[in-house]
Amino acid sequence: MSVHTEVKRISVPQLMAYKGKKKIASLTAYIAPIARLLDDYLDMILVGDSTAMVGYALPNTLTITAEQMAFQAAAVVRSTQHACVIVDMPFGSYQESPGQAFRNCAMAMSSSGADGIKMEGGAALAPTTRFLVERGIPVLAHVGLMPQYVNTMGGFKAQGLTDEAAERILNDAIAHEQAGAFGVVLEGVAEGLARRITQRLSIPTIGIGASPDCDGQVLVTEDILGLSGARIPKFAKQFADVGAVIRGAAEQYATGVREGTFPTLDNCFGVKKS
């Protein structure tokens, strides 16, 4: 007989129903210990491709693969039971065609157990959103500053600063909503534009460096914990200095090793010398 323990985590439809009623609190997680600690407090955990920069010291997010994302998402799913888990699809894994997107998204979801996917792109990607949603893949769209477009954007720059650019981003968000996306991440756009998009859409907007008036917020966890080195963006408040805690523990450990007070079988378990 097999015993199956059902995990009742927040679902995508539940997140959608938060619109106008409850703000969505979201952070990134890429590994089990962080996901486990965050789970109780969040509505959504994003297994972001920012792991490439934060976790692997790469200069941008372009080199991570769908298989690597799926592997990290599986660790996050295994160690959580409350938050909805969304896996970020990396550069090159969905832009070629809706069919390519479906194959990689289905692989990422079925091998990890994640509840949905996120992908970056404007209105040109809306047909792919429709294709995925019609085949059972919940899509969180990501517009505005899209780190996977760093080479075409010429860097990580705020977006939508002219009337024309703002209009384009609004239309990008509307196109994804019409295609069936369950939400839209608005990254690095002016506050007024984020507010306008939030009021215009009937699906939740999740802001990052956008506006407190978005329907939810997402940040990179390492940024708010003081674990990102010198790379913290201006909009990310540091809520704790976990870096200092880790340095303190490492120092105590190293001192113990050098002074010979490192725990051994003898002094931990009272093993008698023969």
Return d(Cα 197, Cα 202) in angstroms, integer.
10
Q: What sign does the CA torsion over 136, 213, 120, 219 have?
A: negative
Q: Which of 69, 220, 224, 227 binds ligand KIV (CB under 6 A)?
A: 220
Using CB under 6 A as the binding criterion, the count of chain residues that bind ligand KIV stands at: 11
Cα–Cα distance between 112 and 74 in angstroms, integer?
4
Q: How far is the CB of 159 from ligand KIV (least distance, A)?
A: 13
Whether 122 contacts 172, CB under 8 Å: yes
Phi-psi group of 171: left, alpha or beta (phi > 0 → left; psi -120 to 50 → alpha; rest → beta): alpha
DSSP three-state, residue 87: strand
Q: How many helices (H) and strands (E) does the chain have?
A: 12, 8
Considering only residues 42-81, where is the footprint of ligand KIV by CB under 6 A?
46, 48-50
- Assess contact for 12 and 115: CB atoms under 8 A: yes
Q: How many CB atoms lie within 10 A of CB 15?
A: 28
Indicate whether 28 belongs to the interface with ligand KIV (CB under 6 A): yes
- Catalytic machinery residues: 187
Q: Is 208 in the site for ligand KIV (CB under 6 A)?
A: yes
Query: Which residue, 194 or 208, is less far from ligand KIV as judged by CB?
Result: 208
Residue nearest to ligand KIV (CB): 48
Q: Which C-beta is closer to ligand KIV: that of 43 or that of 49?
A: 49
Residue 271 CB, nearest approach to ligand KIV (Å): 47
Scanning 7-15, 41-49, 69-77, 170-178 for contacts with ligand KIV by CB under 6 A, the matching segment is: 41-49
* Shorter beta-carbon distance to ligand KIV: residue 71 or 255: 71
- Judged by CB under 6 A, does residue 222 bind ligand KIV? no
- State how beta strands 183-187 and 205-208 pair: parallel
Q: Does 223 bind ligand KIV (CB under 6 A)?
A: no
Closer by beta carbon to ligand KIV, 39 or else 49? 49
Which residue's CB is nearer to ligand KIV, number 64 or number 175? 64
**Could you say which residues in the range 136-195 bind ligand KIV, by CB under 6 A?**
185, 187
Buried b (16+ CB within 10 A) or exposed e, 145-179: bbbbbbeeeeebeebbeeeebbebbbebbbbbbeb
Q: From the CB of 120, what's the least distance to ligand KIV, in Å?
A: 7
Residues of this chain that interact with ligand KIV (CB under 6 A) are: 28, 46, 48-50, 88, 185, 187, 208, 218, 220
